[in-house]
Amino acid sequence: MKHKLPFIPAKFGLLILFLAVTMILPLAGCSKDHKSSRNSVPSTGTGTGNGTGTGTGTGTGTGTGGNPGDAEALDLTWAVKQKASQADIEWMAERIKEFNSFLWQGTEGQGYLRNQTLVNGGSEGKIIIRAVDGPFGNPPAYCDILSTGWQIYLSSGKLPAQLFMHELGHGWVGPFHSEEYSCRNTSAGVCCQSTAAIGSEGLLKWCDPSNCVASQKCWNKIQETHGWAHPGPGGATPACNVTIQ
């Protein structure tokens, strides 16, 4: 049984489009009946741990970081379907480290990406990337819930971090099997499961009863699944090691 959860765009009226000084195009998460596409988006953000890829087609990125303690670690295989240049695949390795930093912050120091394998020109893995440097697809991202577990599809390596966090929320963090597109409380920085916006990394925290403006209250589910504290211990982001194949 396969449950596909693609991103869909939220709709804006013409008046907002004419009056907006800076255009923000929201993307909502994972409706089965609706999909969205965009041409491109800048990616920003910082990560911890340093590493480079070496050789003609393979390499290992390693680094130092904070002590993860008893945080839950994910060791994942990422597959880039459209074979990338050496420069692009090394860029993607660094981008995965940025995702690690965002995940660590979002889980308040209780979940992180530990040892990652990045396959250049592959099609099998927990996270499938259509192309490192390419246009957003339709949909840009989705999470499949399969009998064997979850699998995330990213149409581009340059998607905003919130899209990765949103899909990982469906697959692992919650896991959340329903949508909460309207839970946008920007003053509180929530929620990962809401719509995402072009031109920024998006909202990178999950909501709780004190700041949820919808109904899901994500941290209630997270605590039920993982038993994590909220607020969590935080701390420096642990190293994320990426091996390029």
Asked whether residue 224 carries a pLDDT value surpassing 60, the answer given is yes
Cβ pair 53, 86 in contact under 8 A: yes
Please give the pLDDT value at position 216. 95
Helix (H, G, I), strand (E, B) or coil at 98: helix
Residue 45 belongs to a domain: no
- Tens of pLDDT, residues 174-222: 999 999 999 999 999 999 999 887 779 999 999 999 999 999 999 999 9
Query: Above pLDDT 90, what percent of the chain?
Result: 68
Calculate the CA 82 to chain-centre distance: 20
Residue 30 belongs to a domain: no
In 123-222, where do the E strands start and end?
A: 127-131, 141-146, 149-156, 196-197
Residue 34 belongs to a domain: no
- Tens of pLDDT, residues 29-59: 464 433 332 223 333 333 333 333 334 444 5
The overall average pLDDT reported for the chain is 82
As for how many domains the chain has, the answer is: 1
In Å, how far are 71, 117, 188, 202 from 228, measured between CA atoms?
A: 9, 26, 20, 23
Residue 63 belongs to a domain: no
Residue 187 belongs to a domain: yes
- Name which of 81, 161, 65, 149 is nearest 114 in CA terms: 65
Residue 138's domain comprises 73-244
Please give the pLDDT value at position 38. 29
Please give the pLDDT value at position 178. 92
Nearby residues of 222 by Cβ (< 8 Å), 6 or more positions away: 107, 173, 174, 206, 228, 230
Residue 198 belongs to a domain: yes
Residue 33 belongs to a domain: no
Residue 23 belongs to a domain: no
Inter-helix orientation angle 86-106/161-168, to 10°: 60
